[in-house]
Amino acid sequence: MNRPYNFSAGPAAIPEEVLKTAAAEMLDWHGSGMGVMEMSHRGKEFISIYEKAESDFRELMAVPSEFKILFMQGGGLAENAIVPLNLSRGATVDFVVTGSWSQKSRKEAAKYAAEVHTAASGEDSHFTTLPDPATWQLSRGASYVHACTNETIHGVEFQQLPDLKALGCDAPLAIDFSSHVASRPVDWSRVGLAFGGAQKNLGPAGLTLVVVREDLLGHALPACPSAFDYKVVADNQSMFNTPPTWGIYIAGLTFQWLKEQREGHATGVAAMELRNAAKAKALYDFIDTSDFYVNKVAANCRSRMNIPFFLNDESRNDAFLAGAKASGLLQLKGHKSVGGMRASLYNAMPMAGVEALIAYMREFAQKHS
């Protein structure tokens, strides 16, 4: 049985091997007589799952030892509050607004930070470009600078992380990498904190991953809930409260799958980066040479993960989606705020899925031109 290709923006496709392993271990994990969902988070079985997931992620993403890896709950939206509760220290927070997600982050942070300052915005271009870091108006004495490094809805992605130090800014950079975590390497020398919900590229909804530099811990505002105080979470190895055990287990299986991926001599996340670049290029190249479809994002900031596109004749949208579904291509409808279509090409999407999408798009265009 061939499963359809699932282009959902999130919760999104999970590698089939991961789902099969989870299914096989559902009733009895490694002879323990228990499924993972039924285990104490403090028992030796689950501790071994947690420790392997943590060390595999550290290895895959080359996370330096001065960073803590936290497994939390609440998703990206909760982090929009948790980050300022932990990092804002009563000072201004700078925001780089590049699409819907960073807009939401700024709005939420304004509840907790003394002041939020928009250092740069792509709004004038309807979020089809990323403001050049050289033009950012960073505040003196900001507690941190927030950026969303892949805007899932507008389809813009930083191809390189900004170097704040080179811009004369000492504040740490906090990134929302929910929708491209583990799709490419991260230059940790430029980052103070990174957060992401798992349901795009790592596993099921309900798990939130936070990678935070040690020196940023211990400064939470008094009102910060203990379960969301990064220092409390770090000091308790993510077990101050019951962590999302199932999410950690599935993410751990995904990390093992990632470690096995190869492209030429590259392995792991480096292999994923090559594969993701090739997948995205294939689809953008097809869209750009077609006069039936269009993507409006500037070429140098196009996302490899989320590719919004439009039919030039939008009256055919429903027919396009129905035909796609009948061809085994699922969840291509664009976000309601942008409209049109969106193909999300996360790690679990193979090149064959992208080729099948392009073949369908070509055929649909020929039939309706």
Ligand X SMILES: *Cc1c(COP(=O)(O)O)cnc(C)c1O
* Residues with catalytic function: 101, 176, 200
**241 labelled ligand-binding:** yes
**152 labelled ligand-binding:** yes
Decide: is 152 part of the binding site for ligand X (CB under 6 A): yes
**135 labelled ligand-binding:** no
Decide: is 158 part of the binding site for ligand X (CB under 6 A): no
Two structure tokens written together for 308: 């919004």
> How far is residue 160's CA from residue 287's CA, in Å, rounded to a whole number?
24
**184 labelled ligand-binding:** no
**331 labelled ligand-binding:** no
> How far is residue 37's CA from residue 128's CA, in Å, rounded to a whole number?
42
> How far is residue 98's CA from residue 288's CA, in Å, rounded to a whole number?
23
Minimum distance from CB of 311 to ligand X (Å)?
Answer: 24
Minimum distance from CB of 10 to ligand X (Å)?
Answer: 5
184-223 footprint of ligand X as x/- string (CB under 6 A): -------------x--x-----------------------
Would you call 237 exposed, middle or buried from its count of C-beta atoms within 10 A (0-12, 13-18, 19+)? middle
Decide: is 176 part of the binding site for ligand X (CB under 6 A): yes
Which residue of 54, 72, 76, 244 would you call a contact of ligand X, by CB under 6 A? 76
Decide: is 178 part of the binding site for ligand X (CB under 6 A): yes
**Candidates 107-115, 116-124, 173-181, 307-315; binding stretch for ligand X (CB under 6 A):** 173-181
Strand 193-197 vs strand 67-72: parallel, antiparallel, or unpaired?
unpaired
Whose CA is closest to 173, among 202, 209, 212? 212
Cβ atoms of residues 305 and 9 within 8 Å: no
In sequence order, which residues have a C-beta less than 8 Å from that of residue 277 and are 6 or more positions away?
Answer: 304
Minimum distance from CB of 157 to ligand X (Å)?
Answer: 10
Enumerate the H helices of the chain as residue ranges: 16-24, 44-60, 75-87, 100-109, 230-235, 245-260, 268-289, 317-326, 351-368
Site size toward ligand X, by CB under 6 A: 12
Decide: is 75 part of the binding site for ligand X (CB under 6 A): yes
Nearer to ligand X among residue 39 and residue 194 (C-beta)? 194
**Candidates 31-39, 175-183, 283-291, 310-318; binding stretch for ligand X (CB under 6 A):** 175-183
Decide: is 98 part of the binding site for ligand X (CB under 6 A): no
Nearer to ligand X among residue 184 and residue 200 (C-beta)? 200
Nearer to ligand X among residue 207 and residue 233 (C-beta)? 207
Decide: is 83 part of the binding site for ligand X (CB under 6 A): no
C-alpha 134, offset from chain centre: 25
**Candidates 65-73, 75-83, 156-164, 290-298; binding stretch for ligand X (CB under 6 A):** 75-83
> How far is residue 38's CA from residue 95's CA, in Å, rounded to a whole number?
42
Strand partners, 131: none
Two structure tokens written together for 183: 């799709």
In sequence order, which residues have a C-beta less than 8 Å from that of residue 156 and are 6 or more positions away?
Answer: 98, 99, 122, 127, 128, 129, 130, 150, 297, 298, 301, 302, 303
Give phi and psi for 220, each to the nearest 5.
Answer: -65, 150
Decide: is 172 part of the binding site for ligand X (CB under 6 A): no
Minimum distance from CB of 359 to ligand X (Å)?
Answer: 28
Sign of the dihedral defined by the CA atoms of residues 85, 152, 182, 18, in that order? positive
**Candidates 174-182, 223-231, 328-336, 350-358; binding stretch for ligand X (CB under 6 A):** 174-182
> How far is residue 328's CA from residue 157's CA, in Å, rounded to a whole number?
28
Binding-site residue positions: 42, 101, 152, 176, 199, 241-242
Binding-site residue positions for L-glutamate: 42
List of residues contacting ligand X (CB under 6 A): 10, 75-77, 101, 148, 152, 176, 178-179, 197, 200
